[in-house]
């Protein structure tokens, strides 16, 4: 299923799903409306009890229901407007190599030993077609092309080998970044702070984990050409093409399968030492190699300015578009 949060002319957010791509009249199904209130009106409540609700949808064949709204009648919002928490990892070695070079750093040995993350602002969530305001003091606004993972059930001390059932679904994540602010902050070895505090865009939908299994693959040495190291952990990934366009011009093309760490490893790391992951928590994959402008020191494209239109595309999910203001 491709789940969405949307609003109509009454401006009230509600949860639902997109009808199948092959439908002659694609649209949106309001889950609360189609079920006469048996399904919730918001996405977080649906995720909290998604196994029960998915059975209800299947038993009533609501997944094949006609749309309650045409796409022209709705505005898509962030599919999960209120994640309970948001951890962002640095999962791609190519991004680490490029960004470290740009900042004059080197990759610490610990990065190759465990997935590294920071907590980002789960209250600064934006959706498709939202305007992203450039921070007033920022001169080098940047983007980061990432895959987002939504947790579907509570758990702690989850082993990577047992983590897949904890994944509810996936979305596109643009980790908007104020590079000039970040560069100064990271002179202190504490991690990013205000440079990552102002905007996290996700969408246009959440694709449930079962639907994304069609993209699962086994990586090989050929996927990790020099200077990349072949991962020492699990060798399964999702084979998903990833692209960035700015003002219609392609800036980056990559693939999620080149991630050094997969989400199952990230779940193990986040939940160790008795830490509870909760339904509606989010994890970011980290930026795919060349998926940010800092990796080329803004030579491929200048820092983003008001009026720029950014499109992030991930195979199987769709396109997340935002405009800088």
Mean pLDDT of 198-207: 98
Say how many C-beta atoms besides its own lie within 10 A of residue 49's C-beta: 14
Structure tokens at 288: 């795919």
> How sure is the predictor about 169, in pLDDT bands with cuts at 50, 70 and 90?
very high
Instruction: Identify the band that residue 157 occupies on the pLDDT scale cut at 50, 70 and 90.
Output: very high
Sign of CA dihedral 313, 311, 75, 177: positive
* Angle 222-228-233 from CA coordinates, rounded to 5°: 80
Q: What are phi and psi of 65, to 5 degrees?
A: -70, 155
> Is pLDDT at 24 greater than 70 in this prediction?
no
pLDDT of residue 74: 97
What pLDDT sits at residue 22?
A: 54
Q: What percentage of the chain carries pLDDT values higher than 70?
A: 98
Q: Are 309 and 320 in contact (CB under 8 A)?
A: no
The alpha helices in the chain, defined as continuous H runs, are: 31-34, 43-48, 50-60, 93-103, 179-185, 209-212, 263-271
- Is the pLDDT confidence value at 75 over 80? yes
Other beta carbons within 10 Å of 228: 16
* Lowest-pLDDT range of 184-193, 215-224, 315-324: 184-193
pLDDT (tens digit, 9 = 90+) per residue, 252-306? 999 999 999 999 999 999 999 999 999 999 999 999 999 999 999 999 999 999 9
- Position 187 pLDDT exceeds 90: no
* CA dihedral (32, 33, 37, 41) positive or negative: positive
């Amino acid at each position: 299923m491709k789940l969405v949060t949307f609003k109509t002319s009454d401006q009230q957010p509600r949860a639902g799903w997109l009808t199948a791509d092959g439908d002659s009249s694609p649209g949106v199904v309001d889950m609360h409306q189609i079920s006469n209130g048996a399904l919730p009106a918001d996405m977080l409540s649906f995720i909290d009890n998604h196994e029960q609700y998915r059975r209800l949808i299947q038993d009533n064949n609501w997944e094949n229901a006609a749309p309650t709204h045409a796409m022209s009648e709705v505005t898509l919002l962030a599919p999960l407007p209120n994640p309970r928490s948001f951890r962002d990892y640095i999962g791609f070695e190519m991004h680490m190599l490029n960004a470290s070079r740009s900042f004059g750093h080197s990759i610490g040995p610990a990065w190759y030993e465990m997935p590294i993350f920071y907590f980002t602002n789960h209250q600064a969530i934006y959706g498709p077609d939202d305007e992203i305001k450039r921070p007033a003091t920022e001169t080098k606004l940047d983007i980061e092309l990432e895959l987002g993972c939504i947790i579907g059930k509570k758990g702690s001390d989850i082993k990577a080998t047992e983590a897949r059932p904890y994944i509810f679904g996936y979305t596109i994540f643009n980790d908007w970044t104020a590079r000039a602010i970040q560069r100064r902050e990271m002179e202190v070895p504490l991690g990013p702070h205000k440079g990552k505090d102002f905007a996290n865009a996700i969408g246009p939908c959440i694709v449930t984990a079962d639907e994304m299994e069609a993209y699962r693959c086994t990586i090989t040495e050929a996927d990790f050409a020099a200077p990349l190291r072949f991962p020492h952990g699990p060798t399964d990934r999702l084979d998903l093409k990833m692209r960035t366009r700015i003002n219609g011009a392609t800036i980056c093309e990559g693939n999620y399968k080149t991630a050094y760490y997969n989400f199952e490893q990230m779940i193990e790391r986040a939940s160790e030492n008795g830490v509870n992951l909760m339904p509606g928590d989010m994890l970011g994959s980290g930026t795919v190699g060349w998926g940010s402008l800092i990796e080329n020191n803004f030579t491929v494209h200048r820092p983003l300015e008001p009026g720029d239109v950014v499109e992030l595309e991930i195979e199987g999910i769709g396109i997340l578009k935002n405009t800088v203001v």
